[in-house]
Amino acid sequence: MPARLGRYAVRRRLGAGAFATVWLAYDEQLDSPVAVKVLADNWTEDQAVRQRFLEEGRFLRKVESPYVVTVYDAGEIDDGRPYLVMSYADQGTLADRLEIDGLTPGQALEVVRQVGAGLQTLHERGVLHRDLKPANVLFRAVDGEVRAMVADLGLGKSMEVSSRLTVIAGTPSFVSPEQAQGEPLDPRSDLYSLAALTYLLLAGRAAFSHATLSAAARPGSPPALSSPDRPYPDEVGAVVARGLAVERDERWPDVASYVAALTSALAPVTSGAASQLPLDPHLTQTGAPPSMLADDASLPPPRLPRRRRWLRRVVGGVVALAVIAGGAVLGYRIGHEEPTEATVTDTSGYLTVTVPSSWDHAVADDGWRPKGSDTDQPALSVGTSGDWSTDPDGQGVFVGILPGTELPDHVPGHPECATSQDPIEATDSLTVTFTGCGDTDAVVVERVVQLTENRLLWVQVRSASTAVANRVLDDVETHGFG
Per DSSP, what are the bridge partners of residue 145? 142
Alpha carbon of residue 354 to chain centroid: 28
37 annotated ligand-binding residue: yes
Residue 309's φ and ψ, nearest 5 degrees, are -120, 145
264, 258 contact by CB (below 8 A):
no
CA atoms of 396 and 398, how far apart (whole Å): 7
Helix or strand (DSSP H, E) at 187: helix 187-203
Parallel/antiparallel/unpaired status of strands 145-150 and 442-452: unpaired
**Which alpha helices (DSSP H) does 232-282 contain, by range?**
234-243, 255-270
Would you tell me how many other CB atoms lie within 10 Å of the CB of residue 43?
A: 17
| Catalytic status, residue 254 | no
Instruction: Go through the chain and tell me how many residues it has.
Output: 482
Alpha carbon of residue 67 to chain centroid: 20
CA atoms of 3 and 5, how far apart (whole Å): 7
Q: Radius of gyration (Cα) for the chain, nearest Å?
A: 25
**Residue 326 neighbours by CB under 8 Å, 6+ apart:** 306, 307, 347
**Which alpha helices (DSSP H) does 350-399 contain, by range?**
none
CA atoms of 331 and 309, how far apart (whole Å): 10
Whose CA is closest to 132, among 147, 146, 112?
A: 112
383, 389 contact by CB (below 8 A):
yes
Helix or strand (DSSP H, E) at 145: strand 145-150
Would you tell me how many other CB atoms lie within 10 Å of the CB of residue 142?
A: 12
**Residue 134 neighbours by CB under 8 Å, 6+ apart:** 93, 94, 95, 98, 197, 200
DSSP labels, 91-117: T-BHHHHHHH----HHHHHHHHHHHHH
Tell me, what amino acid is at 197?
L
Catalytic residue among 27, 90, 96, 131: 131
Catalytic positions, please? Answer: 131
Return binding residues for ATP: 37
